[in-house]
Every structure is written in C-alpha cells, then in structure tokens.
Chains A and B, each alone.
Chain A
C-alpha cells in the first residue's frame, strides 16, 4: 500500500536524509551533508531517480545550487547559479541572496527546473540545474518594482516562495511571493498577472488590493489541478479555477485557533482534503502553536469544516514553529504526513494525521522538508 520513502531535510546547518521502508516504522539517517551550510531547500527529481537539487549558502559565502546524481552521496556545484544581470543603475542593482524554492519542471520537460529567490525573482534551468537564467517575463516586468519591492520582506528577506506547474500544461504556472501575493502565467512565464481577488492584506491601506498580499504557501490538489489551496499571512483560502475569487475557508476554523500559519498540505488523492499547522498570529505574532498545544487541522470537505488532530503531540508546553517549506505528505495509502520544527524535531503521522510520533530530535533549525520515493 505504501512505498519506501525518503525525507529530505534542509536545516540552517546542513542537510540530512531520513529513509524508511514501506511500513514507515524504522528510520535510518544519512548526514550531515554539507555541515554548516544553510540548506534552504533539498528536492528530488521525480523524472530522474537519484537526482537531487540543493539550494545552499553559508553565513559568509554567497548562494549556490548543488546537484547530486547518486541520491546525495556526491555533489556537483552549478556552473552558473541564479544571478541577476549586471545593472547599469546602482539603484536597481539586485543580487540573489539565496534560492528559497526549487521546483522540478513539468513531467514532459526533463531537465527543466525552476527556482524562486530572495529578493523575489524567478529563474529557470534547462540542463538539470547546472546553469540558470532569469525569467525576464517576471523579473523584468514593468510592474516588477511594485510586485516585488526589495525593501519589504520576511526576516529572511522578501521571497518568491513557491512555483507551481500545472501538470496538464507546462506553460501554465503559478508563483507565490511574500511581497505581491500570487501571480499566474499561461505562456510559460512570458507574461504574468496577479491572482489575489478577495485575499486579505490587513497591513495595507486597502486590505483587499490587486497585489501586495503575503502568500505564505500555495499548492494544487494533485488529483484536481483546478483547485488551489493557499495559506496566507491573512488566513486560509481555496480557489477553484477558472474562478478568480479566493474563498477564505479559514473562517471555518475554531475562533480560538484562528487561521494563521505558514503552510498547507493537500491530500495526494482526495481533492477535498488538506492539512494546516496553525500558529499564533495574535498581538506580536509569536508564530508558535496556539496555547503551546501543537496540532494540525484537517479539512475533508474542501474547507467547510476542520478537525483537530493532535494525538501524540505534546499536550502542553509545545511551542512548535513549522516554516513554510517544512510540512509535506507522501503518496502512501494511507498518506504519511511529515513536519519539521524550528527546534530541530521531525514528526510523522502514518495515518493521515490521526496520530503523531517524533522520528528525530536535536537537529538544527529545520528550514525545509520534502519527500522522495526510494
């Protein structure tokens, strides 16, 4: 019913790979890989077994991309990592701080990868991550300065934090940013438009602007690519295309929990099901589990209602923070769920969130978590 899985863990101080057989009960660990390097994202290529891409930087050194063709045993650095063109005007001179998100391209485009960076920009590789070029349709868009102001951002800088490719059409993509919200292209990145109708930005004079939202995370329902889920800075949303207006399904969360969080995970098969990991977004924004009681919330009816799932988590004094890349699902039957905390703990559920157990502790701050089939 399930396949052996690997968990690819990116942390502030290196990468680790956890592996389990199909029963997902016992885990072996490989690592640290690149100890001391800041590993922003570590992702496998579903089109090429054994190929991994890693986005890394260090406290001193600039950003780069590494590629492995043997499941993480050996690595080769990109010959040309993502970088902006040399600017004539020093006021417009941007440099890539780091690549936040790596996305394998469409299944029909082997070798294509996309990268989202801080400051927000989109880059493409057509040779498996060895060389990268900017996507000028976005990075050079006339509205770019307004969509991606360099001075705004998260504590880790402003982000282009997700890239989503429509599995039915390689030319149809969505991106999420911390500065402008969600954008859509239908021509493989040549032109873009905002897609933020009815998404709140309560930190703006107009709380429902055309752009300017902080889209923490977006994901397509794997079995219904017309359904988009979004965990925003200002709530949980769903959008069913070709609709344009997001619905705030987070309004149906318990009031004492709220609908603030970093990430949302769709079920691998059931398009009505998704999970969130709520955090405290009140007053000064602690961004920890509300009340110190960690829990995920599951909807099984497309957001009309939510069910608390906390069995196995600390019942009190559990001040978890789960960053936007650090919650994911496998494709098992039942689906496995995995989350990593900023306190360096890895947790899993083998029963679609009903119960949770810790599979690792004492890691550095976890930045990202992704699943690869073994």
Chain B
C-alpha cells in the first residue's frame, strides 16, 4: 500500500482525510485506485490526456513528477499539492 497525502483542495472527496492508503504500481494506478473509492477525484488533478493539471504538483518522496506512468513502490509516499493558482 502506498501512503498518499491529500491536499486541502481534495478533502471534500476523502471525507476530510488528509492521508489515505492506496494500491498501484504507478502514479496512474494509485490515482485510479483513489478514484474508485473517491469518485471524481482523479479528473480534478489529471486531465483527459493524462497530463497533471497545471496548478497541481505531485511528488514521490522528494522527487516531483509530471509523468503519471512513473513507477511507485509499496513503501513510497505519494504527495499531491495544489500550488500557485493565483489570487
């Protein structure tokens, strides 16, 4: 299971949880698992062309990625942030 940090912008989907566990071997797989449990969450952060949305940042540990095919290990932590979207 991968630990996932949920940003405040998405806690409406997770019943307020800021940290959840999910399954998957890639970023995309983890987000698919989250979307099954919290319907609609994935499309708010990943567009229909599998691109991370402009004002969303995703980290695996300390490494940022914008590639949803990036592999992720069972001990990794996936962190999702909303960042710099203006006033």
Interface residues of A, Cβ cutoff 8 Å to B? 58-62, 64, 77-79, 81, 83-87, 90, 93-96
A79 contacts which chain B residues (CB < 8 A)?
A: 39-40
A59 contacts which chain B residues (CB < 8 A)?
A: 55, 82, 85-86
B44 contacts which chain A residues (CB < 8 A)?
A: 61-62, 64
A95 contacts which chain B residues (CB < 8 A)?
A: 47-49, 51
Task: Decide: A58 and B85 in contact? CB cutoff 8 A.
Answer: yes
Task: Decide: A64 and B48 in contact? CB cutoff 8 A.
Answer: no
Task: Decide: B49 and A64 in contact? CB cutoff 8 A.
Answer: no
Task: Give CA–CA (A78, B39) in the complex, Å.
Answer: 10
Query: Could you say which of A64, A86, A96 contacts B40, with CB atoms under 8 Å apart?
Result: A64
Give the residues from 31 to 87 in chain B that come closer than 8 angstroms, CB to CB, to chain A: 39-40, 43-51, 53, 55-56, 82-83, 85-86
Given contacts A79-B39, A79-B40, contact A61 B47 (CB under 8 A): no
Q: Nearest Cβ distance between residue A118 and chain B, in whole angstroms?
A: 13
Chain B: interface size category: 20 to 34
17 contacts between A and B (CB under 8 A): A58-B85, A59-B86, A60-B7, A60-B9, A60-B83, A60-B85, A61-B9, A61-B82, A62-B45, A64-B40, A64-B43, A78-B40, A83-B43, A85-B48, A93-B51, A94-B49, A95-B47
Q: Does B4 contact A (CB under 8 A)?
A: no
Q: Nearest Cβ distance between residue A153 and chain B, in whole angstroms?
A: 16
Look across to chain A and name the residue whose beta carbon is closest to the beta carbon of B48: A83
Q: Nearest Cβ distance between residue B68 and chain A, in whole angstroms?
A: 12
Task: Decide: B53 and A60 in contact? CB cutoff 8 A.
Answer: yes
- With most chain B CB atoms within 10 A of its CB, the pick from A60, A93, A95 is A60
Query: Could you say which of B10, B39, B49, B50 contacts A61, with CB atoms under 8 Å apart?
Result: B10
Q: Nearest Cβ distance between residue B25 and chain A, in whole angstroms?
A: 20
Task: Decide: A86 and B49 in contact? CB cutoff 8 A.
Answer: yes
Interface residues of B, Cβ cutoff 8 Å to A? 7, 9-10, 39-40, 43-51, 53, 55-56, 82-83, 85-86
Query: Could you say which of B50, B55, B56, B85 contacts A86, with CB atoms under 8 Å apart?
Result: B50
B48 contacts which chain A residues (CB < 8 A)?
A: 83-86, 95-96
Provide the main secondary structure of the chain B interface: loop
Look across to chain A and name the residue whose beta carbon is closest to the beta carbon of B40: A77
Task: Give CA–CA (A264, B45) in the complex, Å.
Answer: 36
- With most chain B CB atoms within 10 A of its CB, the pick from A81, A90, A95 is A95
Task: Give CA–CA (A257, B85) in the complex, Å.
Answer: 37
Task: Decide: A60 and B51 in contact? CB cutoff 8 A.
Answer: no
Task: Give CA–CA (A79, B44) in the complex, Å.
Answer: 12
- With most chain A CB atoms within 10 A of its CB, the pick from B10, B40, B48, B55 is B48
Task: Give CA–CA (A201, B45) in the complex, Å.
Answer: 37
Task: Give CA–CA (A81, B41) in the complex, Å.
Answer: 12
Task: Give CA–CA (A119, B85) in the complex, Å.
Answer: 19
Look across to chain B and name the residue whose beta carbon is closest to the beta carbon of A61: B44
Look across to chain A and name the residue whose beta carbon is closest to the beta carbon of B8: A60
Task: Decide: A60 and B40 in contact? CB cutoff 8 A.
Answer: no
Query: Could you say which of B39, B50, B53, B83 contacts A62, with CB atoms under 8 Å apart?
Result: B53
Task: Give CA–CA (A60, B10) in the complex, Å.
Answer: 10
Q: Nearest Cβ distance between residue A134 and chain B, in whole angstroms?
A: 10
B56 contacts which chain A residues (CB < 8 A)?
A: 60-61
Given contacts A86-B49, A95-B49, contact A58 B9 (CB under 8 A): yes
Task: Decide: A61 and B51 in contact? CB cutoff 8 A.
Answer: no
Task: Give CA–CA (A64, B44) in the complex, Å.
Answer: 8
Given contacts A60-B56, A61-B10, A61-B82, contact A87 B40 (CB under 8 A): no
B43 contacts which chain A residues (CB < 8 A)?
A: 62, 64, 81, 83
- For the complex of A and B, the 8 pairs showing the least CB-CB separation, nearest first, are A59-B85, A60-B82, A95-B47, A61-B44, A83-B48, A93-B49, A60-B55, A60-B85
